[in-house]
Amino acid sequence: MKILMVCLGNICRSPLAEGILRSKLPDSFVVDSAGTISMHEGETPDKRAVKTAANHHIDISKQKSRPIQMTDFDQFDKIYCMDLKNLEDVISLTRTEEQRQKVHLFLEEAGNHQNSEVPDPYWGNLDDFEKVYQLLDRASNKISHQLQQQVITNKIR
Ligand code: 4NP
């Protein structure tokens, strides 16, 4: 199963989400991330995101920002967006109902129906990154169970 995490710049939220979810899944799962804009393409994650992940023994320092591309809709099984604007932007790129069905709001899939957006910590401080980490960590616990269950009941390999 292949999972893609998406935020705006792919330097704060989705790199953290990628690192956290990967740490909770077996190696047979592929976890990647992308942004809806290409402004930070090629850059490693924001220093504060790298530091926050490292505080929890997760290394995201070698990730590189990239924009989402059309082939992602065929290559990935699940595309999880961090906020509603990301969701709208990603859905606007889909061309078929099958592609559309792969796109979800990450926290909503994890069961948060209120407060279903991961706040953007880019303009905040290290404490805001830690709050985002905690939000993503709790949601990733739920999603990792869900995904492993789906593989077992075998909807997706
Ligand atoms: P991200 O955060 O979408 O979580 O990676 C941001 C990164 C960059 C910018 C905004 C948010 N930016 O304006 O460059």
Give residue 157's pLDDT. Answer: 65
Asked if the model's pLDDT at residue 153 lies above 90, the reply is no
Catalytic residue among 7, 22, 72, 83: 7
Give residue 154's pLDDT. Answer: 76
Compute the distance between CA of residue 52 and CA of residue 60 in angstroms, rounded to an integer: 10
Secondary structure (3-state) at 21: helix
| Residues whose CB is less than 8 angstroms from the CB of residue 147 and which lie 6 or more positions away in sequence, other chains included | 1, 3, 25, 29, 78
Give residue 73's pLDDT. Answer: 98
Give residue 94's pLDDT. Answer: 98
Q: Is the CB of 34 under 6 A from ligand 1?
A: no
The phi, psi pair for 37, rounded to 5°, reads: -120, 160
Range of the domain at 102: 2-156
Q: How many domains does the chain have?
A: 1
- Residue 137 — very low, low, confident or very high, per pLDDT cuts 50/70/90? very high
Q: What is the mean pLDDT of residues 41-47?
A: 98
* 110-123: pLDDT as tens digits: 999 899 999 999 99
Give residue 109's pLDDT. Answer: 97
CATH code of 126's domain: 3.40.50.2300
Q: Is the CB of 29 under 6 A from ligand 1?
A: no
Dihedral sign for Cα 45, 58, 29, 85, please. Answer: negative
Nearest protein Cα to ligand 1, atom 14? 9
Give residue 92's pLDDT. Answer: 98
The atom number, within ligand 1, closest to the CA of 45 reads 5
The answer to whether 48 is a known catalytic residue is no
Q: If you compute the radius of gyration of the chain from its CA atoms, what whole number of angstroms results?
A: 14
Q: What is the mean pLDDT of residues 19-28?
A: 98
The phi, psi pair for 103, rounded to 5°, reads: -95, 125
3-state helix, strand, coil in the chain (%, to 5): 45, 15, 45
Whole-number average pLDDT of the chain = 97
Give residue 23's pLDDT. Answer: 98
The atom number, within ligand 1, closest to the CA of 65 reads 5
Compute the distance between CA of residue 88 and CA of residue 21 in angstroms, rounded to an integer: 23
Catalytic residue among 46, 72, 83, 120: 120
Asked if the model's pLDDT at residue 156 lies above 70, the reply is no
Q: Is the CB of 63 under 6 A from ligand 1?
A: no
| Count of Cβ atoms closer than 10 Å to residue 59 Cβ | 11
C-alpha distance across the termini of the chain, in Å: 5
* 55-98: pLDDT as tens digits: 999 999 999 999 999 999 999 999 999 999 999 999 999 999 99
The atom number, within ligand 1, closest to the CA of 8 reads 3
Write out the H or E segment, with its range, that includes residue 15. helix 13-23
